[in-house]
């Protein structure tokens, strides 16, 4: 247990140092918050607590304000995502054409709920309100790949394909 705590502290220190380095590109101005958060999100796949604290100190912004921005924008997340992030569109066109069935199938196949990641870190699941592909409804995405006119069969094939990848 003590060794795990040491490892966690090492990772936090490494992340803090990396975020501090990233911050040197930005002036200490509140207007840079979203750009900074975006860059941190791209680097880590989420916004770690130590990064939030480091940004808070650098920009002299309360942690509550940073948390508010992170939770307001769906682009940002507080939890690590899987290697393959699955998003199922629940916008009106997709929902009417059966996207809830697709979402339910992902949940039952991967044994996770929305906002969760599989234990092996391979898959994470989100529901989104619109991906802008209404003509292809129902739609789901895996990372940046869009799968339109989705069926349970198509989903199963895609999940199997990604499961076989390293």
| Average pLDDT of the residues of the chain | 91
Question: pLDDT 10s digit of each residue in the chain, 166 long?
Answer: 444 555 667 888 899 999 999 999 999 999 999 999 999 998 988 999 999 999 999 999 999 999 999 999 877 889 888 899 999 999 999 999 999 999 999 999 999 999 899 999 999 999 988 888 999 999 999 998 999 999 999 999 999 999 998 7
The answer to whether the Cα torsion of 33, 39, 45, 51 is positive or negative is negative
Task: Return all residues near 162 (Cβ < 8 A) that are at least 6 apart.
Answer: 84, 122, 123, 142
Would the pTM of this model clear 0.85, i.e. be above it?
Answer: no
pLDDT tens readout for residues 61-87: 999 999 999 999 877 889 888 899 999
What is d(CA 79, CA 62) in angstroms, rounded to the nearest whole number?
20
Q: Which CATH number fits domain 84-164: 3.40.30.10, 3.20.20.70, 3.40.640.10, 3.40.140.10?
A: 3.40.30.10
Task: Return all residues near 52 (Cβ < 8 A) that are at least 6 apart.
Answer: 63, 66, 67, 70
How much is the pLDDT for 12? 86
At 154 the three-state DSSP class reads helix
Task: Return all residues near 35 (Cβ < 8 A) that are at least 6 apart.
Answer: 26
For the chain, what are the domain ranges?
A: 2-72, 84-164
How much is the pLDDT for 124? 94
């Amino acid at each position: 247990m003590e060794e795990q705590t040491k490892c966690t502290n090492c990772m936090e220190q490494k992340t803090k140092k990396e975020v501090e380095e990233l911050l040197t590109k930005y002036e200490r101005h509140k207007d840079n918050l979203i750009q900074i958060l975006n860059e941190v999100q791209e680097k880590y796949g989420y916004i770690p607590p130590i990064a939030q604290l480091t940004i808070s100190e650098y920009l002299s912004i309360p942690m509550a304000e940073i948390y508010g921005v992170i939770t307001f924008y769906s682009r940002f997340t507080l939890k690590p995502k899987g290697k393959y992030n699955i998003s199922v569109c629940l916008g009106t066109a997709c929902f009417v054409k059966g996207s809830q069935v697709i979402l339910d199938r992902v949940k039952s196949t991967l044994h996770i709920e929305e906002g969760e990641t599989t234990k092996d870190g391979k898959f994470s699941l989100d529901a989104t309100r619109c991906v802008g592909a209404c003509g292809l409804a129902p739609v789901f995405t895996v990372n940046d790949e869009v799968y339109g006119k989705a069926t349970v069969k198509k989903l199963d094939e895609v999940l199997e394909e990604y499961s076989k990848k390293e």
